[in-house]
Structure 1
């Protein structure tokens, strides 16, 4: 799915001003509201836009500790372990990976003791062989999409 310059401008507005109306996006861009809506519909249909909603802070929700837990899984049990991980509320993301482990999870906790409790819960899951944990000290580059959107839009040029 190609994202052109206009798509990139619309995505930029959506990222920077997510609570603004389609009509206002159209006014800012100087194009018809129907054009903006059609582009948004296509971007959703093509899977570029996957969700709408606020980004929440785990720290503000009382979970300031962030850790990355690598999980090694017994062969043939990846799906079962992944399903079990989905039941652990402190796991906010999980990915199948190559390399030293089979799964990489992003885990939040209230404090170090709570993190240990979460890790112990993970270790006790059937199919989990071992875990390796890395605690994040400070976020250096926050989650972002705008630089990528701009680079893709510039590379594509106008449609």
Structure 2
């Protein structure tokens, strides 16, 4: 399925606020609520919309220490290690890379001590050769929104 201009507008509205009522989307786009409901259902079924969730404030929750960890694995084991790491709740992102590093992790923890404990833990994973960590001093921009083409 390819999306048209109306679908793109619906995606942009829902991405900005997933709680926007379908009737409000219909009003903004000057369309019927039933048509919008049908389009949203199709977008969900086709996988364009994967989830609706709240964006939480990491600082208020005490999870404002961000680190980027480069993980080197034994040859041919990066996918296996990545799947195991995916179970760790402190990890927000895991990317398999080309180049010298096999995996890049974005981790969010409550303290530097938590980060130290986390690094110690993953350093013991079977298949992990080494890790290198960069701690973020501050986050200038963090964005999960996609630039939906029209």
- Shorter-chain TM-score range: 0.7 to 0.9
Q: Secondary structure at the match of 2:129?
A: strand
The structure where helix makes up a greater share of residues is 1
Higher RCO (Cα < 8 Å, 6 or more apart): 1
For 1:68 and 1:25, locate their aligned partners in 2 and report how far apart those are by CA, in whole Å: 38
Partner in structure 2 of residue 64 of structure 1: 64
For 2:15, the equivalent position in structure 1 comes to 15
**What is the Cα deviation at residue 14 of structure 1?**
0.8
Gaps of 5+ in 2: none
2:39 maps to 39
TM-aligned CA deviation for residue 97 of structure 1: 1.4
Gaps of 5+ in 1: 154-159
Q: How many corresponding residue pairs?
A: 150
Q: What residue in structure 2 maps to residue 77 of structure 1?
A: 77
Alignment of structure 1 residues 98-137 onto 2, 5 Å: 98-137=98-137
Shift of 1:144: 4.2
State the TM-score, normalizing by the size of structure 2: 0.87
Q: CA-atom RMSD, angstroms?
A: 1.8
Q: TM-score, normalised by structure 1?
A: 0.83
Displaced runs of 4 or more, over 4 A = none
